[in-house]
Amino acid sequence: MASTITEKILAAHTEKRSVEPGEFIEAKVDLALGNDITAPLAIKEFERSGVKRVFDNKRIALIPDHFTPNKDLKSANQCKILKNFASKHKIKHYYEVGRMGVEHALLPELGLVLPGDLVIGADSHTCTYGALGAFSTGVGSTDLAAAFITGKCWFRVPESMRFVFRGRLNRWVGGKDLILYTIGDIGVDGALYKAMEFTGDAINKLPMDDRFSMCNMAIEAGGKSGIIEPDGITKGYTGSKRTKIYKSDKDARYSDIIEYDVKKIEPQVATPHLPSNAKPVSKIKNVRVDQAVIGSCTNGRISDLRSAARILKGKKAKSSVRLIVIPATQKIYLEAVKEGLAEIFVKAGGVFSTPTCGPCLGGHMGILAEGETAIATTNRNFVGRMGHTGSKVYLSNPAVAAASAIKGRIAHPEEVL
């Protein structure tokens, strides 16, 4: 029977030879992830169960990244729960501040997610790892607790949607723009509980960081997951580590196939208060910004920082704009320092932070006051997402965010070069 890459991966983690969309299955997980917001709830349920041991202390990852470095007493207590649980059960992949990073950048960087894996995380943007050709999706904290106990999780096999991107990308257009354009086209529920499969010659040439950005935001279209078939770029990223490559059959079934000519796509900006409110940056006029945030699990990787630095080098952010740059991991932080990117950001009048999710979820390190507006390389711009319910968030790629910091209003990168 012809199958998609998603169906093949799910079947491989069951005792079935194949699975079909709509079918309920119980599948083994290769990695179960929790952070400082979601893992404490899972740990509480695990302990209530009376079970004494986790299913495998090498296949659980606990990453305190949302409110860390601890912003207050409550966040400190949340992180302590992770630390104590990791110590008690000898969890191998627990990463404290100084070694941690934003979870969805850290795990691939460490080689903990590989093609063909099945990964669950109590965080909606766990779908990021589909960029490596893995099936990865967000789950609730109770599902995570069950996985801690059994090493399994139940799923309803999703239908797949195929998105074909053809042509050559315009300057300053990357994965963030492609996914914003896609969400703008189909809407925030356009791929509801679907596996969004990205393909086409434009995707084949897309660097891994851009692929992560695309799969990261599949959830913003209602997707169960995002996924890209592994290729030479994937192999170059994962190296010689064990991999199991799956690819969709030519006659696999899709609920829909949508094609895009990327030559028609310019840098995108999602206006408040939905990621689907995507427009070309050239259509955004006279929107003043108080803050520019460059970072997050969507766009905090080294190529993102390089893109922003190209714009900011030798320039200054407008004095009325808070420029906050947050590398996604310690490794990326060091790379940015060695390459001189950190110096560029600081000389531009910006703050260069230790890794944290921080402002993305309105946690800390950049909370918006009433009436303030931010442009951010994050993934959500819901009401109150980054602070006061009377604030506004616009989403963009790093180059647009950097240009906007300089101009003090949302701007195309070409305006400052």
Rounded to whole angstroms, how far apart are CA atoms 386 and 362?
4
Report whether pLDDT(194) > 70.
yes
pLDDT tens digits, residue range 39-90? 999 999 999 999 999 999 999 999 999 999 999 999 999 999 999 999 999 9
Bridge partners of 60?
32
CB 368 within 8 A of CB 391: yes
Look-up: residue for tokens 């305006």?
Answer: 415
Rounded to whole angstroms, how far apart are CA atoms 385 and 364?
12
Does the structural domain 5-260 have CATH classification 3.40.1400.10? Answer: no
- If you average pLDDT over residues 164-181, what whole number do you get? 98
pLDDT tens digits, residue range 364-408? 999 999 999 999 999 999 999 999 999 999 999 999 999 999 999
Report whether pLDDT(239) > 90.
no
Report whether pLDDT(184) > 90.
yes
- If you average pLDDT over residues 5-29, what whole number do you get? 97
pLDDT tens digits, residue range 321-344? 999 999 999 999 999 999 999 999
pLDDT tens digits, residue range 339-373? 999 999 999 999 999 999 999 999 999 999 999 99
Q: Over the chain, what is the mean pLDDT?
A: 97
What is the residue-wise DSSP string for 226-241? Answer: EE----HHHHHHHTTS
Q: What single letter denotes the amino acid at residue 388?
A: H
Q: How far apart are the first and last CA of the chain?
A: 54
Report whether pLDDT(241) > 80.
no
The pLDDT value recorded for residue 240 is: 67
pLDDT tens digits, residue range 283-311? 999 999 999 999 999 999 999 999 999 99
Return phi, psi of residue 342, to 5°.
Answer: -60, -40
Return phi, psi of residue 106, to 5°.
Answer: -70, -45
In 146-208, beta strands by DSSP E: 152-156, 159-166, 194-199
Rounded to whole angstroms, how far apart are CA atoms 211 and 198?
9
The pLDDT value recorded for residue 68 is: 94
CATH fourth-level superfamily of 268-416: Aconitase, domain 3 (3.30.499.10)
pLDDT tens digits, residue range 125-139? 999 999 999 999 999
Q: Residues for the chain: how many in total?
A: 417
Report whether pLDDT(98) > 70.
yes
- Within 10 angstroms of residue 209's Cβ, the number of other Cβ atoms is 22
Report whether pLDDT(242) > 80.
no
Evaluate whether 5-260 and 268-416 have a shared fold.
Answer: yes
Report whether pLDDT(243) > 70.
yes
pLDDT tens digits, residue range 261-289? 999 999 999 999 999 999 999 999 999 99
pTM of the shown model: 0.96
User: Which residues, at least 6 apart from 229, have a Cβ–Cβ distance to it below 8 Å?
Assistant: 5, 133, 197, 199, 246, 247, 248
Residue ranges covered by each domain of the chain:
5-260, 268-416
